[in-house]
């Protein structure tokens, strides 16, 4: 039984590789022939064993397959990483695979337990794929897939999530609401990966569907919120503030407490970037109170991390240090890596200003350990990479 459980994650990844190969209309022989020019050849027999969950691929073979199939290596590597992680988690029974599972997963998402929600949606989807009778409820399966991608986004698996969102967008049975949610997830991935022009194009595509009676107000508020983030990244500060305020109004009007709290944090971040520290502080104070009283752990960690920036810019190093430690106490156990990285970046800067060599070394070790694991575009990441390559911070 133990061997069977270990094979499951492998087999799932192998099934994915087989589906990609077959969608490219490539035989095992063709892949072997095309791999001849790569550092490590992918033989027909070895690829067959990988696809059947009987062997692990090496990174050089994954690299060759990514080039042959035309799939980003980051997306394939993230899928493989998740497959390996799933092997380490004891399988749990999922008796329900429909709306109840979505509701259970949403509760985990609201509390910031994204890895658990991802595992829940993954198991439910596996049960549906194993149903030999086909899928009698494709709309429910699409909902499960959308929230699975949502978890990938929260966990920073942006290349993987982007490819999944693109695949969902090609599904013929999408409702307007599902299509817009998939577009929203695609935009978030593009934004996090620094592909702002593509993100704006997708937002413009979403705008064409405004007025659909099927689409709930929350989705339009979500679109406004991510639009604000993209505009902020493009340097259009005033347009960004307007988009964030509009999203906040829509969330509050629909009595969506979690989303309103998140929008208030986004607005606080935009106000910080615009140089309005006092308004940013008021906004973040309100958001932090709501996050603490409602148990929104990730939002609490984000708000505290933004207070780190406000305090640091004001020259209050002691205050910034306190906020960073409080934020990390939440973010480290949950592996909210971008938040931990940002906090440690400012702790590192503070240690430098204090001539605290031990603090500099401790935080620099953390930054070096995390910098390669963060895909999204962050000024702190870029600054540290510049330092690591011999530049100034």
Half-sphere exposure of 313 (CA within 13 A, CB side): 15
User: Is residue 69 located within the same domain as residue 117?
Assistant: no
Question: Are the CB atoms for 44 and 32 separated by under 8 Å?
Answer: yes
> What mean pLDDT is predicted for residues 331-347?
93
Would you say residue 53 lies in a domain?
A: yes
pLDDT of residue 198: 94
Give the whole-angstrom CA distance, residue 310 versus residue 322: 12
Report whether pLDDT(288) > 90.
yes
> What mean pLDDT is predicted for residues 122-139?
71
User: Is residue 264 located within the same domain as residue 194?
Assistant: no
Residue with the bigger pLDDT between 345 and 210: it is 345
pLDDT of residue 1: 34
The predicted-structure confidence for 97-124, as pLDDT tens digits, reads as follows 566 788 888 888 887 788 888 888 888 8
pLDDT of residue 220: 87
User: Is residue 300 located within the same domain as residue 289?
Assistant: no
Residue with the bigger pLDDT between 213 and 66: it is 66
To 5 degrees, how large is the angle CA 134–CA 139–CA 143? 110
> What mean pLDDT is predicted for residues 140-155?
91
Out of 67-76, 86-95, 261-270, 318-327, pick the least confident: 86-95
Q: What is the CATH number of the domain that holds 172?
A: 1.25.40.10
Report whether pLDDT(5) > 50.
no
Q: Which of 293, 319, 342 is the last residue of a domain?
A: 293
Contacts of residue 252, defined as CB under 8 A and 6 or more positions apart, other chains included, come to: 260
User: Is residue 365 located within the same domain as residue 333?
Assistant: yes
pLDDT of residue 162: 93
Question: What residue has token string 């679109």?
Answer: 223
Out of 31-40, 48-57, 83-92, pick the least confident: 83-92
Would you say residue 390 lies in a domain?
A: yes
Q: What is the pLDDT confidence band of residue 2, given thresholds at 50, 70 and 90?
A: very low
pLDDT of residue 131: 52
Report whether pLDDT(345) > 80.
yes
Residue with the bigger pLDDT between 266 and 213: it is 266
- What are the b/e assignments for 301-322, b being 16+ CB within 10 Å? bbbbbbbbbbbbeeeebeebbe
Range of the domain at 49: 2-88
**What letter would DSSP give residue 317?**
H
pLDDT of residue 54: 79
User: Is residue 124 located within the same domain as residue 71?
Assistant: no
Give the whole-angstrom CA distance, residue 141 versus residue 226: 25
Would you say residue 270 lies in a domain?
A: yes
> What mean pLDDT is predicted for residues 11-39?
87
Out of 75-84, 291-300, 362-371, pick the least confident: 75-84
User: Is residue 201 located within the same domain as residue 268?
Assistant: no
User: Is residue 371 located within the same domain as residue 309?
Assistant: yes
How many domains in the chain?
4
Question: Are the CB atoms for 300 and 288 separated by under 8 Å?
Answer: yes
Would you say residue 100 lies in a domain?
A: no
Give the whole-angstrom CA distance, residue 62 versus residue 22: 17
pLDDT of residue 316: 97
Report whether pLDDT(89) > 60.
no
Would you say residue 227 lies in a domain?
A: no
The predicted-structure confidence for 216-229, as pLDDT tens digits, reads as follows 888 888 999 999 99
Q: What is the pLDDT confidence band of residue 323, given thresholds at 50, 70 and 90?
A: very high
User: Is residue 345 located within the same domain as residue 288?
Assistant: no
User: Is residue 33 located within the same domain as residue 128?
Assistant: no
Would you say residue 68 lies in a domain?
A: yes
User: Is residue 300 located within the same domain as residue 381?
Assistant: yes
Q: What is the CATH number of the domain that holds 79?
A: 1.10.260.40
Max avg pLDDT among 24-38, 75-89, 181-195? 181-195
Token pair of 274 as six digits: 């615009």
Max avg pLDDT among 94-98, 108-112, 338-342? 338-342
Tell me the average pLDDT of the chain.
Answer: 87
Q: Which of 187, 215, 243 is the last residue of a domain?
A: 215
Residues of the chain with pLDDT > 70, as a percent, come to: 90
Q: What is the pLDDT confidence band of residue 130, given thresholds at 50, 70 and 90?
A: low
pLDDT of residue 79: 80
pLDDT of residue 3: 37
Would you say residue 258 lies in a domain?
A: yes
Question: What residue has token string 């940013």?
Answer: 280
Would you say residue 98 lies in a domain?
A: no
User: Is residue 175 located within the same domain as residue 82?
Assistant: no
User: Is residue 211 located within the same domain as residue 239?
Assistant: no
């Amino acid at each position: 039984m133990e061997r069977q459980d270990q094979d499951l994650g492998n087999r799932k990844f192998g099934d994915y590789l087989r589906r990609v190969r077959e969608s490219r209309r490539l035989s095992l022989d063709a892949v072997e022939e095309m791999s001849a020019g790569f550092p490590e050849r992918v033989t027909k027999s070895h690829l067959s064993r990988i696809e059947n969950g009987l062997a692990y691929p090496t990174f050089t073979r994954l690299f060759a397959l990514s080039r042959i199939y035309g799939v980003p290596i980051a997306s394939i590597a993230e899928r493989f990483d998740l497959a390996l992680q799933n092997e380490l988690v004891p399988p749990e029974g999922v008796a329900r695979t429909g709306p109840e599972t979505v509701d259970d997963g949403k509760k985990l998402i609201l509390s910031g337990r994204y890895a658990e929600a991802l595992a829940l949606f993954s198991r439910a989807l596996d049960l549906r794929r194993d149903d030999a009778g086909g899928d009698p409820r494709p709309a429910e399966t699409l909902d499960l897939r959308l929230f699975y991608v949502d978890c990938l986004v929260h966990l920073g698996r942006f290349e993987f999530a982007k490819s999944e969102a693109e695949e969902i967008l090609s599904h013929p049975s999408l409702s307007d609401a599902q299509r817009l949610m998939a577009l929203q997830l695609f935009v978030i991935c593009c934004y996090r990966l620094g592909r702002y022009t593509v993100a704006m194009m997708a937002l413009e595509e979403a705008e064409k569907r405004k007025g659909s009676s099927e689409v709930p107000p929350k989705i339009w508020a979500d679109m406004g919120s991510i639009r604000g983030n993209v505009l902020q990244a493009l340097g259009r500060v005033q347009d960004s503030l307007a988009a964030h305020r509009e999203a906040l109004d829509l969330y509050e009007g629909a009595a969506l407490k979690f989303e309103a709290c998140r929008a208030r944090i986004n607005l606080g971040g935009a106000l910080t970037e615009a140089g309005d520290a006092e308004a940013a502080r008021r906004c973040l104070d309100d958001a932090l109170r709501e996050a603490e009283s409602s148990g929104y752990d990730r939002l609490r960690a984000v708000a505290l991390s933004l207070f780190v920036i406000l305090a640091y810019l004001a020259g209050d190093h002691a205050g910034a240090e306190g906020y960073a430690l409080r934020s990390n106490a939440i973010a480290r156990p949950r592996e909210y890596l971008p938040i931990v990285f940002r906090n440690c970046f400012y702790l590192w800067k503070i240690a430098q200003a204090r001539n605290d060599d031990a603090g500099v070394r401790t935080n620099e070790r953390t930054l070096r350990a995390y910098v390669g694991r963060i895909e999204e575009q962050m000024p702190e990441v870029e600054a540290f990479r510049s330092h690591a390559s011999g530049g100034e911070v």
